[in-house]
Structure 1
Amino acid sequence: MALTETLVVTGGVALVAAGAVYAKTRLFPISEEDEPREDVAEYIAMMVSVLYALVLGLCLVSVWGTSSSASDAVQAEASALHQTYLLADAYPAGHRQQLRDAASAYAHHVVDVEWPVMEAREPLGHSGWDLLARLRQASAIPDSAKPPEQIAGQEALAQIGYVDDARRSREAAAQTSLSPVLWAGLIIGGVLTLAFMFLFGITRNTTHVVMVMGLAGFIAFTVLLIHQLDAPFGAMFGANPTPFTRYFGT
Protein backbone atom coordinates (compact mmCIF):
# COMPACT_ATOMS: atom_id res chain seq x y z
CA MET A 1 0.00 0.00 0.00
CA ALA A 2 1.50 3.34 -1.09
CA LEU A 3 1.75 6.42 1.09
CA THR A 4 -1.10 8.13 -0.76
CA GLU A 5 -3.38 5.14 -0.25
CA THR A 6 -2.48 5.06 3.45
CA LEU A 7 -3.38 8.72 3.87
CA VAL A 8 -6.63 8.24 1.96
CA VAL A 9 -7.66 5.30 4.15
CA THR A 10 -6.71 7.18 7.32
CA GLY A 11 -8.65 10.25 6.25
CA GLY A 12 -11.62 8.14 5.19
CA VAL A 13 -11.81 6.43 8.58
CA ALA A 14 -11.62 9.81 10.30
CA LEU A 15 -14.44 11.18 8.14
CA VAL A 16 -16.62 8.12 8.81
CA ALA A 17 -16.05 8.59 12.54
CA ALA A 18 -16.99 12.27 12.24
CA GLY A 19 -20.19 11.33 10.41
CA ALA A 20 -21.03 8.84 13.14
CA VAL A 21 -20.57 11.51 15.80
CA TYR A 22 -22.76 13.93 13.86
CA ALA A 23 -25.47 11.30 13.45
CA LYS A 24 -25.29 10.41 17.13
CA THR A 25 -25.69 14.03 18.24
CA ARG A 26 -28.65 14.46 15.88
CA LEU A 27 -30.43 11.28 16.93
CA PHE A 28 -29.50 11.43 20.61
CA PRO A 29 -28.88 15.07 21.51
CA ILE A 30 -27.37 15.84 24.90
CA SER A 31 -29.64 17.66 27.33
CA GLU A 32 -29.10 19.09 30.78
CA GLU A 33 -31.28 16.33 32.21
CA ASP A 34 -28.87 13.58 31.10
CA GLU A 35 -27.35 11.59 33.95
CA PRO A 36 -23.78 12.49 34.83
CA ARG A 37 -21.04 10.10 33.85
CA GLU A 38 -20.42 7.33 36.30
CA ASP A 39 -16.98 6.76 37.79
CA VAL A 40 -17.14 3.03 37.03
CA ALA A 41 -17.83 3.67 33.34
CA GLU A 42 -14.97 6.15 33.16
CA TYR A 43 -12.65 3.64 34.81
CA ILE A 44 -13.63 0.91 32.33
CA ALA A 45 -13.09 3.26 29.38
CA MET A 46 -9.68 4.21 30.73
CA MET A 47 -8.68 0.56 31.23
CA VAL A 48 -9.78 -0.33 27.68
CA SER A 49 -7.63 2.50 26.32
CA VAL A 50 -4.61 1.44 28.39
CA LEU A 51 -4.94 -2.22 27.39
CA TYR A 52 -5.33 -1.27 23.74
CA ALA A 53 -2.19 0.85 23.95
CA LEU A 54 -0.35 -2.22 25.31
CA VAL A 55 -1.63 -4.34 22.41
CA LEU A 56 -0.52 -1.69 19.92
CA GLY A 57 2.92 -1.56 21.51
CA LEU A 58 3.26 -5.34 21.49
CA CYS A 59 2.28 -5.54 17.82
CA LEU A 60 4.68 -2.77 16.82
CA VAL A 61 7.58 -4.38 18.68
CA SER A 62 6.79 -7.77 17.13
CA VAL A 63 6.61 -6.62 13.50
CA TRP A 64 9.52 -4.22 13.89
CA GLY A 65 11.70 -7.02 15.23
CA THR A 66 10.82 -9.26 12.30
CA SER A 67 11.47 -6.50 9.77
CA SER A 68 14.80 -5.63 11.36
CA SER A 69 15.83 -9.29 11.44
CA ALA A 70 14.99 -9.64 7.75
CA SER A 71 17.13 -6.63 6.82
CA ASP A 72 20.06 -7.90 8.88
CA ALA A 73 19.81 -11.35 7.30
CA VAL A 74 19.82 -9.91 3.77
CA GLN A 75 22.85 -7.75 4.52
CA ALA A 76 24.74 -10.63 6.13
CA GLU A 77 23.93 -13.00 3.28
CA ALA A 78 24.97 -10.58 0.55
CA SER A 79 28.16 -9.61 2.39
CA ALA A 80 29.24 -13.22 2.94
CA LEU A 81 28.47 -14.06 -0.69
CA HIS A 82 30.54 -11.09 -1.84
CA GLN A 83 33.45 -12.18 0.32
CA THR A 84 33.22 -15.62 -1.26
CA TYR A 85 33.35 -14.03 -4.69
CA LEU A 86 36.44 -12.02 -3.74
CA LEU A 87 38.20 -15.06 -2.33
CA ALA A 88 38.18 -16.56 -5.82
CA ASP A 89 41.21 -14.37 -6.59
CA ALA A 90 43.29 -16.57 -4.29
CA TYR A 91 42.13 -19.81 -5.90
CA PRO A 92 44.04 -21.84 -8.48
CA ALA A 93 43.63 -20.43 -11.97
CA GLY A 94 41.40 -23.29 -13.11
CA HIS A 95 38.89 -22.82 -10.26
CA ARG A 96 38.50 -19.06 -10.00
CA GLN A 97 35.88 -18.46 -12.66
CA GLN A 98 33.83 -21.44 -11.53
CA LEU A 99 33.50 -20.00 -8.03
CA ARG A 100 32.69 -16.53 -9.34
CA ASP A 101 30.02 -17.87 -11.69
CA ALA A 102 28.42 -19.88 -8.88
CA ALA A 103 28.32 -16.83 -6.57
CA SER A 104 26.88 -14.59 -9.30
CA ALA A 105 24.25 -17.19 -10.24
CA TYR A 106 23.12 -17.42 -6.64
CA ALA A 107 22.87 -13.62 -6.31
CA HIS A 108 20.86 -13.31 -9.53
CA HIS A 109 18.53 -16.06 -8.38
CA VAL A 110 17.86 -14.31 -5.07
CA VAL A 111 17.05 -10.98 -6.72
CA ASP A 112 15.21 -12.11 -9.85
CA VAL A 113 13.41 -15.23 -8.65
CA GLU A 114 13.17 -15.35 -4.89
CA TRP A 115 12.44 -11.72 -4.11
CA PRO A 116 9.03 -11.56 -5.85
CA VAL A 117 8.16 -14.86 -4.19
CA MET A 118 9.03 -13.48 -0.74
CA GLU A 119 6.95 -10.36 -1.37
CA ALA A 120 4.00 -12.65 -2.14
CA ARG A 121 4.71 -14.71 1.02
CA GLU A 122 5.02 -17.93 -0.95
CA PRO A 123 7.47 -20.81 -0.26
CA LEU A 124 10.85 -20.33 -1.89
CA GLY A 125 11.35 -23.92 -2.97
CA HIS A 126 14.65 -25.79 -3.27
CA SER A 127 16.25 -24.11 -6.29
CA GLY A 128 18.08 -21.61 -4.11
CA TRP A 129 19.46 -24.37 -1.93
CA ASP A 130 20.60 -26.23 -5.03
CA LEU A 131 22.54 -23.16 -6.16
CA LEU A 132 24.05 -22.85 -2.71
CA ALA A 133 25.15 -26.50 -2.88
CA ARG A 134 26.68 -25.74 -6.29
CA LEU A 135 28.52 -22.80 -4.73
CA ARG A 136 29.83 -25.02 -1.97
CA GLN A 137 31.06 -27.55 -4.53
CA ALA A 138 32.75 -24.81 -6.55
CA SER A 139 34.63 -23.68 -3.45
CA ALA A 140 36.37 -27.06 -3.10
CA ILE A 141 40.16 -26.89 -3.34
CA PRO A 142 42.21 -29.77 -4.85
CA ASP A 143 44.71 -31.50 -2.60
CA SER A 144 47.53 -30.34 -4.83
CA ALA A 145 46.78 -26.67 -4.12
CA LYS A 146 49.37 -24.47 -2.44
CA PRO A 147 49.02 -23.55 1.28
CA PRO A 148 47.72 -20.01 0.57
CA GLU A 149 45.13 -21.50 -1.78
CA GLN A 150 44.14 -24.04 0.89
CA ILE A 151 43.65 -21.21 3.37
CA ALA A 152 41.48 -19.32 0.87
CA GLY A 153 39.39 -22.45 0.36
CA GLN A 154 38.82 -22.82 4.09
CA GLU A 155 37.83 -19.17 4.37
CA ALA A 156 35.44 -19.53 1.43
CA LEU A 157 33.77 -22.49 3.11
CA ALA A 158 33.37 -20.42 6.28
CA GLN A 159 31.78 -17.56 4.31
CA ILE A 160 29.42 -19.99 2.57
CA GLY A 161 28.42 -21.21 6.02
CA TYR A 162 27.47 -17.61 6.87
CA VAL A 163 25.46 -17.45 3.64
CA ASP A 164 23.66 -20.63 4.68
CA ASP A 165 22.77 -19.27 8.12
CA ALA A 166 21.63 -15.91 6.76
CA ARG A 167 19.51 -17.62 4.11
CA ARG A 168 17.72 -19.63 6.76
CA SER A 169 17.00 -16.45 8.70
CA ARG A 170 15.73 -14.75 5.54
CA GLU A 171 13.41 -17.63 4.72
CA ALA A 172 12.09 -17.67 8.30
CA ALA A 173 11.41 -13.91 8.20
CA ALA A 174 9.62 -14.24 4.85
CA GLN A 175 7.17 -16.75 6.35
CA THR A 176 6.68 -14.92 9.67
CA SER A 177 3.54 -12.86 10.20
CA LEU A 178 1.71 -11.27 13.09
CA SER A 179 -0.40 -13.67 15.13
CA PRO A 180 -4.13 -13.74 14.28
CA VAL A 181 -4.79 -13.27 18.00
CA LEU A 182 -2.94 -9.95 17.95
CA TRP A 183 -4.77 -8.88 14.79
CA ALA A 184 -8.07 -9.66 16.54
CA GLY A 185 -6.92 -7.60 19.52
CA LEU A 186 -6.03 -4.70 17.23
CA ILE A 187 -9.42 -4.63 15.53
CA ILE A 188 -11.59 -5.34 18.57
CA GLY A 189 -9.61 -2.96 20.79
CA GLY A 190 -9.83 -0.18 18.23
CA VAL A 191 -13.58 -0.59 17.89
CA LEU A 192 -14.08 -0.60 21.66
CA THR A 193 -11.86 2.44 22.15
CA LEU A 194 -13.84 4.41 19.57
CA ALA A 195 -17.16 3.14 20.91
CA PHE A 196 -16.44 4.56 24.35
CA MET A 197 -15.99 7.98 22.74
CA PHE A 198 -19.67 7.83 21.81
CA LEU A 199 -20.87 6.81 25.24
CA PHE A 200 -19.68 9.96 26.94
CA GLY A 201 -21.22 13.00 25.34
CA ILE A 202 -19.45 16.34 25.08
CA THR A 203 -21.52 19.49 25.11
CA ARG A 204 -19.44 21.12 22.40
CA ASN A 205 -20.15 19.09 19.28
CA THR A 206 -17.21 20.51 17.34
CA THR A 207 -14.79 19.43 20.07
CA HIS A 208 -16.33 15.96 20.14
CA VAL A 209 -16.03 15.59 16.36
CA VAL A 210 -12.40 16.71 16.32
CA MET A 211 -11.49 14.34 19.18
CA VAL A 212 -13.16 11.34 17.54
CA MET A 213 -11.68 12.15 14.12
CA GLY A 214 -8.19 12.42 15.57
CA LEU A 215 -8.47 9.20 17.54
CA ALA A 216 -10.02 7.24 14.66
CA GLY A 217 -7.45 8.51 12.17
CA PHE A 218 -4.55 7.74 14.47
CA ILE A 219 -5.80 4.22 15.19
CA ALA A 220 -6.30 3.57 11.47
CA PHE A 221 -2.82 4.90 10.70
CA THR A 222 -1.22 2.73 13.40
CA VAL A 223 -3.01 -0.40 12.19
CA LEU A 224 -1.91 0.31 8.60
CA LEU A 225 1.65 0.88 9.83
CA ILE A 226 1.62 -2.49 11.57
CA HIS A 227 0.20 -4.08 8.41
CA GLN A 228 3.07 -2.66 6.33
CA LEU A 229 5.74 -3.66 8.86
CA ASP A 230 4.22 -7.14 8.96
CA ALA A 231 5.53 -7.61 5.41
CA PRO A 232 9.32 -7.97 5.99
CA PHE A 233 9.95 -7.80 2.24
CA GLY A 234 7.13 -5.43 1.30
CA ALA A 235 7.50 -2.40 -0.92
CA MET A 236 7.12 0.33 1.73
CA PHE A 237 9.09 -0.70 4.83
CA GLY A 238 10.41 -4.14 3.89
CA ALA A 239 13.97 -5.19 3.17
CA ASN A 240 15.10 -4.73 -0.43
CA PRO A 241 17.71 -6.56 -2.54
CA THR A 242 20.02 -3.54 -2.66
CA PRO A 243 22.91 -5.37 -0.90
CA PHE A 244 22.90 -8.01 -3.66
CA THR A 245 22.55 -5.52 -6.49
CA ARG A 246 25.29 -3.34 -5.03
CA TYR A 247 27.77 -6.19 -4.84
CA PHE A 248 26.83 -8.10 -7.98
CA GLY A 249 25.10 -5.52 -10.16
CA THR A 250 22.06 -7.75 -10.74
Structure 2
Amino acid sequence: MTEIIAIVLGVAMLSAACVLVRHRYWPADPDDEPREDVAEYISMMVGVLYALILGLSLVSVWETRSGAEGHVQTEASAAHQVYLLADGLPPGNAEQVRTSMAAYVHHVVGAEFPSMVGGQPLGAEGWTLLHQVRTANQVPDGATPVQQATVQEVLAQLSTLDDARRGREADVLNTLSPTLWLGLIIGGALTVAFMFMFGVKRNLTHVTMVMGLTALIAFTVVLVYQLNQPFSGLLAVDASSFTRYFPLA
Protein backbone atom coordinates (compact mmCIF):
# COMPACT_ATOMS: atom_id res chain seq x y z
CA MET A 1 0.00 0.00 0.00
CA THR A 2 2.90 2.32 0.78
CA GLU A 3 4.26 1.84 -2.73
CA ILE A 4 0.93 2.80 -4.29
CA ILE A 5 0.68 5.96 -2.20
CA ALA A 6 4.27 6.84 -3.10
CA ILE A 7 3.59 6.38 -6.82
CA VAL A 8 0.42 8.48 -6.76
CA LEU A 9 2.02 11.27 -4.74
CA GLY A 10 5.16 11.17 -6.87
CA VAL A 11 3.21 11.56 -10.10
CA ALA A 12 1.10 14.35 -8.59
CA MET A 13 4.17 16.25 -7.37
CA LEU A 14 5.81 15.88 -10.76
CA SER A 15 2.76 17.34 -12.48
CA ALA A 16 2.72 20.21 -9.96
CA ALA A 17 6.38 20.93 -10.71
CA CYS A 18 5.58 21.01 -14.43
CA VAL A 19 2.80 23.54 -13.79
CA LEU A 20 5.11 25.78 -11.77
CA VAL A 21 7.79 25.60 -14.46
CA ARG A 22 5.22 26.53 -17.09
CA HIS A 23 4.01 29.54 -15.12
CA ARG A 24 7.59 30.56 -14.35
CA TYR A 25 9.07 30.39 -17.84
CA TRP A 26 6.00 30.49 -20.12
CA PRO A 27 3.48 32.73 -18.34
CA ALA A 28 0.17 33.54 -19.97
CA ASP A 29 0.17 36.78 -21.93
CA PRO A 30 -2.73 39.06 -20.95
CA ASP A 31 -3.06 40.03 -24.60
CA ASP A 32 -3.54 36.42 -25.74
CA GLU A 33 -6.82 35.76 -27.49
CA PRO A 34 -9.23 33.34 -25.82
CA ARG A 35 -9.07 29.74 -26.90
CA GLU A 36 -11.47 28.69 -29.60
CA ASP A 37 -14.58 26.86 -28.54
CA VAL A 38 -13.76 23.93 -30.82
CA ALA A 39 -10.46 23.34 -28.99
CA GLU A 40 -12.21 23.29 -25.64
CA TYR A 41 -14.76 20.88 -27.05
CA ILE A 42 -11.96 18.58 -28.22
CA SER A 43 -10.36 18.62 -24.76
CA MET A 44 -13.70 17.73 -23.21
CA MET A 45 -14.14 14.83 -25.64
CA VAL A 46 -10.66 13.54 -24.81
CA GLY A 47 -11.62 13.46 -21.13
CA VAL A 48 -14.90 11.66 -21.83
CA LEU A 49 -13.28 9.07 -24.09
CA TYR A 50 -10.53 8.47 -21.55
CA ALA A 51 -13.14 7.92 -18.85
CA LEU A 52 -14.72 5.25 -21.08
CA ILE A 53 -11.34 3.53 -21.52
CA LEU A 54 -10.75 3.60 -17.77
CA GLY A 55 -14.20 2.16 -17.11
CA LEU A 56 -13.77 -0.61 -19.66
CA SER A 57 -10.35 -1.52 -18.28
CA LEU A 58 -11.59 -1.61 -14.69
CA VAL A 59 -14.57 -3.79 -15.57
CA SER A 60 -12.34 -6.17 -17.53
CA VAL A 61 -9.72 -6.68 -14.83
CA TRP A 62 -12.32 -6.82 -12.05
CA GLU A 63 -14.21 -9.60 -13.82
CA THR A 64 -10.95 -11.50 -14.29
CA ARG A 65 -10.07 -11.14 -10.63
CA SER A 66 -13.58 -12.14 -9.49
CA GLY A 67 -13.50 -15.15 -11.81
CA ALA A 68 -10.12 -16.23 -10.42
CA GLU A 69 -11.41 -15.99 -6.85
CA GLY A 70 -14.49 -18.02 -7.78
CA HIS A 71 -12.41 -20.73 -9.47
CA VAL A 72 -10.11 -21.06 -6.45
CA GLN A 73 -13.01 -21.28 -3.99
CA THR A 74 -14.86 -23.83 -6.13
CA GLU A 75 -11.75 -25.97 -6.56
CA ALA A 76 -10.94 -25.92 -2.84
CA SER A 77 -14.54 -26.74 -1.90
CA ALA A 78 -14.67 -29.67 -4.35
CA ALA A 79 -11.36 -31.02 -3.01
CA HIS A 80 -12.71 -30.81 0.52
CA GLN A 81 -15.89 -32.62 -0.48
CA VAL A 82 -13.89 -35.44 -2.07
CA TYR A 83 -11.84 -35.74 1.11
CA LEU A 84 -15.00 -36.00 3.23
CA LEU A 85 -16.82 -38.35 0.86
CA ALA A 86 -13.92 -40.79 1.11
CA ASP A 87 -15.39 -41.88 4.47
CA GLY A 88 -18.16 -43.64 2.53
CA LEU A 89 -15.71 -45.78 0.53
CA PRO A 90 -14.19 -49.10 1.55
CA PRO A 91 -11.32 -48.56 4.03
CA GLY A 92 -8.54 -49.26 1.52
CA ASN A 93 -9.94 -46.97 -1.16
CA ALA A 94 -10.82 -44.28 1.38
CA GLU A 95 -7.25 -44.01 2.63
CA GLN A 96 -5.87 -43.85 -0.91
CA VAL A 97 -8.34 -41.11 -1.91
CA ARG A 98 -7.57 -39.01 1.16
CA THR A 99 -3.81 -39.41 0.74
CA SER A 100 -3.95 -38.58 -2.98
CA MET A 101 -6.19 -35.54 -2.43
CA ALA A 102 -3.97 -34.24 0.37
CA ALA A 103 -0.95 -34.59 -1.93
CA TYR A 104 -2.77 -32.64 -4.65
CA VAL A 105 -3.71 -29.80 -2.29
CA HIS A 106 -0.17 -29.68 -0.92
CA HIS A 107 1.13 -29.33 -4.49
CA VAL A 108 -1.38 -26.59 -5.31
CA VAL A 109 -0.52 -24.55 -2.21
CA GLY A 110 3.21 -25.20 -2.12
CA ALA A 111 4.13 -25.21 -5.81
CA GLU A 112 1.38 -23.81 -8.03
CA PHE A 113 0.43 -20.67 -6.15
CA PRO A 114 4.04 -19.41 -5.94
CA SER A 115 4.35 -20.03 -9.69
CA MET A 116 1.12 -18.17 -10.40
CA VAL A 117 2.44 -15.11 -8.56
CA GLY A 118 5.03 -14.83 -11.33
CA GLY A 119 2.48 -15.55 -14.07
CA GLN A 120 3.95 -18.97 -14.84
CA PRO A 121 1.83 -21.84 -16.24
CA LEU A 122 0.83 -24.57 -13.82
CA GLY A 123 2.37 -27.57 -15.52
CA ALA A 124 1.17 -31.19 -15.69
CA GLU A 125 2.01 -32.47 -12.21
CA GLY A 126 -1.29 -31.30 -10.73
CA TRP A 127 -3.25 -33.22 -13.34
CA THR A 128 -1.15 -36.30 -12.60
CA LEU A 129 -2.01 -36.06 -8.92
CA LEU A 130 -5.71 -35.70 -9.76
CA HIS A 131 -5.48 -38.82 -11.91
CA GLN A 132 -4.19 -40.67 -8.87
CA VAL A 133 -7.29 -39.59 -6.96
CA ARG A 134 -9.49 -40.98 -9.73
CA THR A 135 -7.52 -44.21 -9.80
CA ALA A 136 -8.04 -44.64 -6.07
CA ASN A 137 -11.78 -43.96 -6.42
CA GLN A 138 -12.78 -47.35 -7.81
CA VAL A 139 -15.84 -49.51 -7.16
CA PRO A 140 -14.48 -52.70 -5.61
CA ASP A 141 -16.09 -56.08 -5.99
CA GLY A 142 -18.84 -56.58 -3.47
CA ALA A 143 -19.32 -52.84 -2.85
CA THR A 144 -22.57 -51.90 -1.14
CA PRO A 145 -25.09 -49.61 -2.87
CA VAL A 146 -24.06 -46.79 -0.54
CA GLN A 147 -20.40 -47.21 -1.50
CA GLN A 148 -21.30 -47.26 -5.20
CA ALA A 149 -23.29 -44.06 -4.80
CA THR A 150 -20.33 -42.48 -2.97
CA VAL A 151 -18.04 -43.34 -5.85
CA GLN A 152 -20.37 -41.56 -8.26
CA GLU A 153 -20.56 -38.50 -6.01
CA VAL A 154 -16.78 -38.37 -5.76
CA LEU A 155 -16.57 -38.47 -9.55
CA ALA A 156 -19.04 -35.59 -9.79
CA GLN A 157 -16.96 -33.53 -7.36
CA LEU A 158 -13.80 -34.35 -9.29
CA SER A 159 -15.48 -33.12 -12.48
CA THR A 160 -16.29 -29.83 -10.73
CA LEU A 161 -12.71 -29.63 -9.50
CA ASP A 162 -11.39 -30.21 -13.04
CA ASP A 163 -13.46 -27.34 -14.44
CA ALA A 164 -12.36 -25.00 -11.67
CA ARG A 165 -8.71 -25.95 -12.17
CA ARG A 166 -8.94 -25.26 -15.91
CA GLY A 167 -10.44 -21.88 -15.09
CA ARG A 168 -7.59 -21.15 -12.67
CA GLU A 169 -5.06 -22.07 -15.34
CA ALA A 170 -6.71 -19.66 -17.78
CA ASP A 171 -6.84 -16.89 -15.16
CA VAL A 172 -3.05 -16.89 -14.86
CA LEU A 173 -2.65 -15.86 -18.50
CA ASN A 174 -5.86 -13.83 -18.88
CA THR A 175 -4.49 -10.29 -18.63
CA LEU A 176 -5.59 -6.91 -19.93
CA SER A 177 -5.26 -6.36 -23.67
CA PRO A 178 -2.15 -4.41 -24.77
CA THR A 179 -4.50 -2.19 -26.77
CA LEU A 180 -6.26 -1.08 -23.59
CA TRP A 181 -2.92 -0.49 -21.87
CA LEU A 182 -1.90 1.72 -24.77
CA GLY A 183 -5.17 3.63 -24.48
CA LEU A 184 -4.69 4.07 -20.73
CA ILE A 185 -1.20 5.50 -21.09
CA ILE A 186 -1.77 7.72 -24.13
CA GLY A 187 -5.19 8.86 -22.96
CA GLY A 188 -3.88 9.78 -19.54
CA ALA A 189 -1.00 11.75 -21.03
CA LEU A 190 -3.34 13.63 -23.38
CA THR A 191 -5.83 14.39 -20.62
CA VAL A 192 -3.15 15.88 -18.38
CA ALA A 193 -1.50 17.70 -21.32
CA PHE A 194 -4.74 19.55 -22.11
CA MET A 195 -4.63 20.95 -18.58
CA PHE A 196 -1.46 22.78 -19.62
CA MET A 197 -2.74 23.90 -23.01
CA PHE A 198 -5.79 25.60 -21.57
CA GLY A 199 -4.01 27.23 -18.70
CA VAL A 200 -5.44 28.87 -15.62
CA LYS A 201 -3.78 32.18 -14.76
CA ARG A 202 -3.85 31.64 -11.00
CA ASN A 203 -0.91 29.43 -10.06
CA LEU A 204 -2.42 27.82 -6.95
CA THR A 205 -5.66 26.97 -8.73
CA HIS A 206 -3.83 25.48 -11.70
CA VAL A 207 -1.49 23.45 -9.51
CA THR A 208 -4.38 22.08 -7.46
CA MET A 209 -6.38 21.09 -10.53
CA VAL A 210 -3.46 19.36 -12.26
CA MET A 211 -2.32 17.57 -9.09
CA GLY A 212 -5.82 16.28 -8.37
CA LEU A 213 -6.42 15.07 -11.91
CA THR A 214 -2.98 13.47 -12.22
CA ALA A 215 -3.23 11.75 -8.82
CA LEU A 216 -6.66 10.33 -9.71
CA ILE A 217 -5.45 9.04 -13.09
CA ALA A 218 -2.31 7.53 -11.53
CA PHE A 219 -4.32 5.81 -8.80
CA THR A 220 -6.76 4.35 -11.31
CA VAL A 221 -3.98 3.04 -13.56
CA VAL A 222 -2.20 1.48 -10.56
CA LEU A 223 -5.50 -0.10 -9.50
CA VAL A 224 -5.96 -1.57 -12.98
CA TYR A 225 -2.40 -2.91 -12.82
CA GLN A 226 -3.03 -4.55 -9.43
CA LEU A 227 -6.30 -6.15 -10.54
CA ASN A 228 -4.69 -7.27 -13.78
CA GLN A 229 -2.54 -9.70 -11.75
CA PRO A 230 -5.15 -11.75 -9.87
CA PHE A 231 -2.61 -13.92 -8.01
CA SER A 232 -0.10 -11.25 -6.97
CA GLY A 233 -0.09 -7.79 -5.42
CA LEU A 234 -2.25 -6.26 -2.71
CA LEU A 235 -5.52 -7.61 -4.14
CA ALA A 236 -4.19 -11.09 -4.90
CA VAL A 237 -6.28 -14.23 -4.68
CA ASP A 238 -4.32 -16.43 -2.27
CA ALA A 239 -4.44 -20.07 -1.20
CA SER A 240 -6.47 -19.39 1.95
CA SER A 241 -9.46 -21.28 0.51
CA PHE A 242 -7.33 -24.44 0.41
CA THR A 243 -5.57 -23.96 3.73
CA ARG A 244 -8.92 -23.35 5.45
CA TYR A 245 -10.05 -26.86 4.48
CA PHE A 246 -6.61 -28.47 4.64
CA PRO A 247 -4.71 -26.78 7.48
CA LEU A 248 -1.58 -28.89 6.95
CA ALA A 249 -1.33 -27.97 3.23
**Structure 1 CA distance for aligned equivalents of residues 30 and 140 of structure 2:** 93
Shift of 1:135: 1.0
The structure 1 residue matched to 2:107, chosen from 109, 124, 144, is 109
Partner of 1:219: 217
**After the TM superposition, which of the residue ranges 115-124 and 25-34 deviates more from structure 2?**
25-34
Partner of 1:128: 126
The structure 2 residue matched to 1:243, chosen from 241, 244, 247, is 241
Which letter does structure 1 place at the counterpart of 2:155? L
Shift of 1:31: 2.6
**DSSP 3-state at the match of 2:140:** coil
**Structure 2 CA distance for aligned equivalents of residues 197 and 139 of structure 1:** 66
Shift of 1:23: 0.5
Shift of 1:143: 3.3
Taking the TM superposition and a 5 Å limit, the aligned residue runs for 1:121-200 are 121-200=119-198
Shift of 1:203: 1.7
Shift of 1:124: 1.1
- Deviation track 1:39-64 (CA, whole Å, cap 9, x = no partner) reads 00100000000000000000000000
**DSSP 3-state at the match of 2:4:** helix
Over aligned residues, Cα RMSD in angstroms?
A: 0.7
**DSSP 3-state at the match of 2:30:** coil
Q: Does 1:85 align with 2:80?
A: no
Taking the TM superposition and a 5 Å limit, the aligned residue runs for 1:91-102 are 91-102=89-100
- Deviation track 1:191-243 (CA, whole Å, cap 9, x = no partner) reads 00000000011121100000000111111110000000000111311211111
**Structure 2 CA distance for aligned equivalents of residues 46 and 9 of structure 1:** 26
**Structure 2 CA distance for aligned equivalents of residues 216 and 235 of structure 1:** 23
TM-score (norm: length of structure 2): 0.98
Which letter does structure 2 place at the counterpart of 1:29? P
Q: Does 1:73 align with 2:71?
A: yes
Q: Which structure 2 segments of 5+ residues have no match?
A: none
**Structure 2 CA distance for aligned equivalents of residues 99 and 90 of structure 1:** 11
Q: Does 1:28 align with 2:9?
A: no
Which letter does structure 1 place at the counterpart of 2:183? G
Partner of 1:37: 35
Partner of 2:13: 15
- Deviation track 1:79-112 (CA, whole Å, cap 9, x = no partner) reads 0010000001101112111110011111110000
**Structure 2 CA distance for aligned equivalents of residues 111 and 61 of structure 1:** 28
Runs of 4+ displaced beyond 2 Å: none
The structure 2 residue matched to 1:48, chosen from 46, 49, 73, is 46
Partner of 1:232: 230
**DSSP 3-state at the match of 2:28:** coil
Identity %: 55
Shift of 1:134: 0.8
TM-score (norm: length of structure 1): 0.98
Which letter does structure 1 place at the counterpart of 2:167? S
Corresponding pairs, count: 248
